[in-house]
Amino acid sequence: LYVEPDLALGGAVALQKEQSLYLAAVLRKVVGDEVVLFNGRDGAWRTRLTSDSKKSVTLEVVEQVAAQTPPSELWYGFAPLKTERLDYVIQKATEMGAGIIQPVLTRYTQVSRLKHDRLVANAIEASEQCEVLTVPVVAPETTLEKLLSTWGAEQGDRQLILADESEASASPVEQVAALRGQKVGLLIGPEGGFSEEERQVLRAQAFVTPVSLGPRILRADTAAVAGLALIQAIIGD
Ligand code: SAM
């Protein structure tokens, strides 16, 4: 379970109302039961319930069970999708080990107003489910134009893998393997794809590697999972 407070041996943690209700009423935890907590900073800790009140569960911190992992360098940029698919890509990007999740508004992006809190909540929930101790950073949305003009300054020497269904190269595995040892990002377009102009501008950048994810057009959410799996299988992070 993800919590805000610091976690240290012998410390006490009081849960908020919603999490108390979840532990006491849904999971039926009672005094003496154990729960693993993490906060994205102090690793994972075994804790024991000292109160099982549905309004305010408290726990004592018993033992560290995992050290904090360093944040992942993998950057994932995507054009925002409609609600359910948006929730899905945040969950999957978190599971697949993205460290920075960046919504990018493009010409054909249909969704421009994002509920940032909801995206963060999705990243936290996926982290809880998949034991990701460092919750990815969900950055505020930016435009493709701004992203490209600040790429070097903000992303350093990170290479950008552009998922591009028009890419003719038949060897995405070799293309990604050639980036081993470098920080990388993955950029996925919107439901309507990138405009021809956007695609040209992107492909002209020295830091961009256009990669095909196979001969079929994938949905943007499927392309995200396929692209992140390709990167993790070859480079890992
Ligand atoms: N209309 C569908 C949808 O609703 O999601 C398909 C959209 S597809 C054009 C969206 C993005 O997925 C593209 O901009 C590209 O980044 C990525 N994509 C889809 N198929 C791909 C492929 N075969 N190779 C590489 N990237 C792909």
Query: ipTM of this predicted complex?
Result: 0.96
Q: In angstroms, what is the span from residue 195 Cα to ligand 1's centroid?
A: 12
193 ligand 1 Cβ < 6 A: yes
Q: Which mutation among 165, 173, 196, 197 tests ligand 1's pocket best, with the greatest number of atoms within 8 A of CB? A: 165
* pLDDT for position 110: 87
Q: In angstroms, what is the span from residue 220 Cα to ligand 1's centroid?
A: 5
Q: Which amino acid is at 177?
A: A
The answer to whether 160 and 188 are in contact (CB under 8 A) is no
* pLDDT tens readout for residues 29-40: 999 999 999 999
212 ligand 1 Cβ < 6 A: yes
The answer to whether 60 and 34 are in contact (CB under 8 A) is no
pLDDT tier at 156, thresholds 50, 70, 90: confident
Residues with Cβ within 8 Å of residue 63, at least 6 apart in sequence: 9, 45, 46
Give the C-alpha separation, 188 to 104, whole Å.
Answer: 9
Residues with Cβ within 8 Å of residue 141, at least 6 apart in sequence: 80, 103, 104, 105, 112, 114
* pLDDT tens readout for residues 79-122: 999 888 999 999 999 999 999 999 999 999 988 789 999 999 99
Averaged pLDDT, 164-177 = 92
The whole-chain average pLDDT of the chain stands at 95
Q: Which residue has the tokens 């493009």?
A: 106
Whole-number CA gyration radius for the chain: 20
Q: For CA atoms 51, 23, 118, 147, give the dihedral sign.
A: positive
